[in-house]
């Protein structure tokens, strides 16, 4: 299984990413997306942004692989989201990973296109398209509305 930690590929081209993905046998790719925000230090908006990034990644991953499994860090603390892409179509996965790798600078700032895409995908997708990671959007909206996600997150009590 190939491990792809998005933050380590910031200066790579899409072709380089595809070449890296093809080094191992096809089957599974484990993708790690940083969740740098700490709710108490960085605030609700930054935490919500982290969850929107993860929600968009899940929404796009389902289009380029047979399925995926995910893990996520403690809700209000820094960590990493983990996505295990099962039978990914690598030529389609590489542009998605390149989008993530180049969308955020080493200083944690995102470019305008990246920010717009990640934060607005839910409003721009087809009406009949299912939301793949609704829990991430729920957590983001709870935080943005000024509530503590750990206390308000009734649907996801273990987070």
Mean pLDDT of 50-71: 94
Q: How do the domains of the chain map onto residue ranges?
A: 2-145
Q: Which two tokens stand for residue 78?
A: 């820094």
pLDDT of residue 106: 61
Q: Which two tokens stand for residue 156?
A: 């996801």
pLDDT of residue 54: 94
pLDDT of residue 154: 45
Residue of 42, 51, 36, 52 whose CA lies nearest to 108:
36
Choice between 156 and 88, residue whose per-residue pLDDT is larger = 88
């Amino acid at each position: 299984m190939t491990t792809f930690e998005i933050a380590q590929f910031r200066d790579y081209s899409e072709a380089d990413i595809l070449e890296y993905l093809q080094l191992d046998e096809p089957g599974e790719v484990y993708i790690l997306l940083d969740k740098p925000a700490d709710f108490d230090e960085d605030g609700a908006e930054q935490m919500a942004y982290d969850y929107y990034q993860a929600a968009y990644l899940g929404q796009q991953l389902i289009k380029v692989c047979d399925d995926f499994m995910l893990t996520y860090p403690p809700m209000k603390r820094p960590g990493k989201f983990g996505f295990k892409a099962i039978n990914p179509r690598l030529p389609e996965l590489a542009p998605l990973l390149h989008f993530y790798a180049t969308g955020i600078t080493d200083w944690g700032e995102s470019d305008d296109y990246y920010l717009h895409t990640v934060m607005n995908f839910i409003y721009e997708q087809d009406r009949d398209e299912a939301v793949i990671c609704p829990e991430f959007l729920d957590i983001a909206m709870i935080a943005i509305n000024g509530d503590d996600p750990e206390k308000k997150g009734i649907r996801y009590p273990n987070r």
